[in-house]
Structure 1
Amino acid sequence: MVDSILDRVSIREFDMNRDTEVVGKLERNCEIGTKKGVSIFSNMMGDPFSRIRFYPLHVMLVAELLESGELVGVVRGCIKTVGTATGGTLVKMGCILGLRVSPAYRRMGIGLKLVNLVEEWMLKHGAQYTFLATEKNNNASMNLFTVKCNYMNLSSLIIFIQPTGLPRKNISKDIKIDKLRIDQAISLYKSKLRGKDLYPLDIDMILKEKLSLGTWISYFKDESRMNLNNRENNEDFSDTPSSWVIFSIWNTCKTYELQIKKSQPLKFFHTTLCNAREKIFPCLRMPVSDSLSRPFGFLFLYGLHGEGENLGELMESIWSFTSQLGESMKDCKVVITELGLTDPLTKHVPQNSSISRIDDIWYVKNIIGHIHGKDESLKGPAGNVFVDPRDF
């Protein structure tokens, strides 16, 4: 049965002119059961490439039935260069995003074929490793990638989610939050990211992207301000306060929207942005209100890095600041961040009852080593990592 199906399936690149509407329908029909009595829909705003177009090298593959032309599967891939804490090693890494197979054609090898071919595309374009993220309880995904595709656990992370519009603690009058110029942010990040287990080398491109609203530092007023102006040596940050946190904000509202609807029968619907849906809504402690029945987006906190002993109040100030910013934006209903288990800031995330959390797992495979019969994957665990907002 599997062989006969695969013989009748062709894998090709996505065609914007004829596949946009069909892929959207396919992903809305990739459904899983739920007891919550609601459905989650995603509005791609007519852009199926919304999760990968920020990368210069990207591809989108579809699985098509030869006899009917029906699309029964889709996968996206992109390539970026990352740095590691191990001797500053540079790695060209491919990222697999948005693997979907039509429910009627699952467990027939189509998903595996899509993965294999997107890996081949990455290898052809110089990638050394392939990478993906999945929610910890997604057993089907874990089985596909670890058992059938030989991926290894790279990192464990926690996603923190808080709805906007809720009562929040006011920012202390002792704390100041200053916005940095892009060149200042680039300089500071390039100096500090080297301590991460994994980080993107093109941080300048991320910060310059129009979806990045800016970068700020939070510190106590009675401490001297970081003197980033007129700095002769951009690597010297000896004048930083004793406790401070840098953070940036990514506006997903401009790339896609999510929507909650009451549904019969009771189902959740996978979408192009199912990654966000799977991670956010199962753990949100919020009702399906009228405000959430309309399309809405969220702000993503990224690039969080802090130093010093008094980080708890500074982290609270960041959440309050970002929530307040989200409230001022049309259709923004949620603030999200993701941190590695061993990231020093993880323990300083506010312990508010309104903040939900869910476990996330990153997997990796050395495709060059795999081709030559070797297993030389990046060494885990990598717990203090930079979460790229383009991948979320």
Structure 2
Amino acid sequence: MKGTEQEKMVIVVREYEDEKDREGADAVDRICEVGPSSGAALFTDHLGDPVCRVRHTPAFIMLVAEMVSPERQIVGLIRGCVKSVVCGEKAARRGGGSLPIHTKAAYILGLRVSPSHRRLGIGLKLVQRMEEWFISKGAEYSYMATDKDNKPSFHLFTDRLHYSKFRTPTILVHPVFAGHRLPLPRTATLIPLSPSDAELLYRRRFSTVEFFPRDIDDILRNSLSLGTFLALPSTTIFSGIESFLSAPPESWAVLSVWDCKSLFRLEIRGAPLILRSLAWTSRAVDRALPWLKIPSFPNLFRSFGGYFLYGLGGEGPAAKEFLRALCLHAHNMARADGCDVVATEVAACEPLMDGIPHWKRLSCAEDLWCIKRLADDYSDGAVGDWTRSPPGKSMFFDPREV
């Protein structure tokens, strides 16, 4: 863009107005890549509501960057939300154990700037305005996630906005085989839990896990949460959640399922022809010879949807095996609902990671999270400054932030 054109350009950052901005915001979403900068790229394709990915959180907002001169055009956007999460734990005064330490954290989701208007400081203005809103809502921290190969985004947040590298979780993705269901192991019994039973389990067993949301009950009762499932040894008789929590079996596992396809859709573009051909061949063979149960590669080169698995956990020597059974069950649920992928995110050192089926080619070994302290006073108790705390073995990933 020429210097004279830059001088005439006027950019205003303001809150998103649905009737006025939907078409322009959707256009920016569609044109911006959201995935690895090398190889095939993932593109979002929102289903009508650009605010849908943060609307389910307690406090949310979407800002747009509008060029008002020389002509009106939406050239950037950002989404953000604020909630109370666990940032650490402290020892209980009586009876041992530990208690969760909560903080008010803000999450930046979906910073987008039109390719034709980058390197003009628009992304910086959007984040700064978002941080002002975070502070007005009492947020103590602001954090964001980006692909480790997205150098411009990383440098914007670390060099100019003073965020620091915080966590590097792993995104695991498994394709859904449309041709057949995956068999479940006979060694496990799967128990569907009601939202109230699931809440009790999560608060008793996961309440000190980093990023555990205080409003877990709202997540579990959300219409997009398709259920929580508990895996137990097939010889175990389930007598209710209280009985399970008071005397759990040696091994067990749990996970919940979130419907992402009703919020947004994705597609892979730029994949080589040979990969497309191999994927098509695998599907053709699977359709022709379904009894072979060939792991066919779904058609991810057009708009597709998926499920997100959250609240994964378990205990005991067979926990990985039981978690795998739950993931296979989620795969079959997704297959029946017309999904093409099942995905989840776990801490980099999650001990149960080996029990989660995934394809390495579709997954991301290192999702980069950066954080910044917004508050001046330290109200985190034993944690001190959360930005300097070491990572735990597990993290709780809020499905509303996918």
TM-score with structure 2 length normalisation?
0.81
2:304: which partner in 1? 296
Quote the offset at 1:80 in angstroms: 0.6
1:80: which partner in 2? 83
2:289: which partner in 1? none
1:10 equivalent in alignment to 2:5: no
Quote the offset at 1:168 in angstroms: 7.2
2:313: which partner in 1? 305
1:43 equivalent in alignment to 2:50: no
Unpaired runs of 5+ residues, structure 2, are 91-99, 273-294, 378-383
Q: What letter matches 1:53 in structure 2? A: R
Query: Which of 207, 211, 216 does residue 198 from structure 1 map onto?
Result: 211
Query: Which of 215, 218, 227 does residue 214 from structure 1 map onto?
Result: 227
1:380 equivalent in alignment to 2:393: no
Q: What letter matches 2:147 in structure 1? A: E
List per-residue Cα deviations over 1:148-195 (Å, max 9, x = no partner): 111122212111111011777622212100101111101010011123
1:258: which partner in 2? 266
**Percent same amino acid among aligned pairs?**
32
1:130: which partner in 2? 142
SS at structure 2 position matched to 1:253: coil
The answer on whether the counterparts of 1:57 and 1:78 sit within 8 Å (CA) in structure 2 is: yes
1:271: which partner in 2? none
Looking at structure 2, the residues matched to 135 and 216 of structure 1 have their Cα atoms a distance apart, in angstroms, of 30
CA RMSD after TM alignment: 3.0
Looking at structure 1, the residues matched to 18 and 64 of structure 2 have their Cα atoms a distance apart, in angstroms, of 11
Q: What letter matches 2:142 in structure 1? A: T
List per-residue Cα deviations over 1:210-268 (Å, max 9, x = no partner): 00001010111123436326x6xxxx82311110001100011211222456799xxxx
Query: Which of 337, 340, 349 does residue 347 from structure 2 map onto?
Result: 340
Query: Which of 21, 28, 32 does residue 26 from structure 1 map onto?
Result: 28
1:89 equivalent in alignment to 2:109: no
The answer on whether the counterparts of 1:6 and 1:109 sit within 8 Å (CA) in structure 2 is: no
SS at structure 1 position matched to 2:322: helix
Q: What letter matches 1:303 in structure 2? A: G
SS at structure 2 position matched to 1:60: strand
Alignment length (residue pairs) = 359
The answer on whether the counterparts of 1:128 and 1:367 sit within 8 Å (CA) in structure 2 is: yes
Query: Which of 92, 114, 135 does residue 126 from structure 2 map onto?
Result: 114
Which structure has more relative contact order (CA 8 Å, sep 6+)? It is 1
Looking at structure 2, the residues matched to 256 and 197 of structure 1 have their Cα atoms a distance apart, in angstroms, of 27
Query: Which of 338, 359, 366 does residue 359 from structure 1 map onto?
Result: 366
Seen in structure 2, the aligned counterparts of structure 1 residues 28 and 328 have a Cα distance that, compared at 3 Å, is same
Looking at structure 2, the residues matched to 3 and 376 of structure 1 have their Cα atoms a distance apart, in angstroms, of 44
SS at structure 1 position matched to 2:387: coil
Looking at structure 2, the residues matched to 314 and 97 of structure 1 have their Cα atoms a distance apart, in angstroms, of 32
Mapping of residues 226-265 of structure 1, within 5 Å: 227-228=240-241, 237-260=245-268
Unpaired runs of 5+ residues, structure 1, are 265-284
1:70 equivalent in alignment to 2:73: yes
Which deviates the most, 353-362 or 250-259? Answer: 353-362
Seen in structure 2, the aligned counterparts of structure 1 residues 5 and 93 have a Cα distance that, compared at 3 Å, is farther
Quote the offset at 1:312 in angstroms: 2.6
1:275: which partner in 2? none
TM-score with structure 1 length normalisation?
0.83
Looking at structure 2, the residues matched to 224 and 317 of structure 1 have their Cα atoms a distance apart, in angstroms, of 18
